[in-house]
Amino acid sequence: MRFMFTGKGYVVSDSLKDRAEQKIRRLERLFPKNVEISVTFSSVKQDNKIEVSVPLNRRTLRAEVSTNDMYNSIDEVVDVLEKQMVKYKTRLKNKSRKDSSYREELAMVFTDSDDAMSEDHEIIIERNKNFEIKPMDPEDAVMEMELLGHSFFVFRNGRTDKVNVVYRRASGTYGLIEPKY
């Protein structure tokens, strides 16, 4: 495991780096051997935020936590990463039974002797929805999303005629996802 620490508007002390490294190393058994972990500390008003990115072979795990204490943020972000990694490995195991590309990904990311995560969480799709995708502008899609009370909305962009998604970000702003063909 290699660590890369950065601070955005925040001075990262050696003790904070040591604490983050110590806590994240607790998950070493879950990650591939030579993974580079990027840890970013930032502070806005009284919120202390830590973002951790773990690039795996075909995927990137990312966790972000904000609290009023940076040390608490570190503890919480490690818990989030652990849950993500367990979920990721379980999904790969389940999908690798049916598709060889997932078997390859599982072999690249995890070793055969890695039985640290024995939890089996089956993915259950509880509900399917069908709806007509109407052409509209992203601004109209945001208004529709807000009227429905959802955190995202799928629509056909009237300008590009492609399927897009608008979503509400944690900061209260909105994002637009456009496919790249």
pLDDT(73) > 60: yes
The highest-confidence range among 11-20, 96-105, 117-126, 158-167, by mean pLDDT, is 158-167
Q: Please give the CATH number for the structural domain made up of 2-109.
A: 3.30.160.100
Confidence at residue 137, expressed as pLDDT on a 0 to 100 scale: 94
The highest-confidence range among 7-16, 43-52, 93-102, 137-146, by mean pLDDT, is 137-146
Bigger pLDDT: 116 vs 136 = 136
pLDDT(174) > 90: yes
Confidence at residue 87, expressed as pLDDT on a 0 to 100 scale: 83
Q: What is the pLDDT of residues 76-135, one digit of tens each?
A: 999 998 888 888 777 777 776 665 666 666 665 665 434 444 444 566 777 788 888 889
Q: Could you give the CA distance from residue 44 to residue 9 in angstroms, rounded to a whole number?
A: 8
Domains of the chain, by residue range, sit at 2-109, 135-177
- Residues contacting residue 78 through CB under 8 Å, at least 6 positions apart: 23, 24, 26, 27
Q: Could you give the CA distance from residue 2 to residue 84 in angstroms, rounded to a whole number?
A: 19
Q: Could you give the CA distance from residue 94 to residue 154 in angstroms, rounded to a whole number?
A: 28
When the candidates are 3.40.50.720, 3.40.50.2000, 3.30.505.50, 2.60.40.3140, the CATH number that belongs to 135-177 is: 3.30.505.50
Q: What is the pLDDT of residues 23-59, one digit of tens each?
A: 988 888 777 778 889 999 998 877 888 999 988 777 7
Question: Which pairing describes strands 152-157 and 163-168: parallel, antiparallel, or unpaired?
Answer: antiparallel
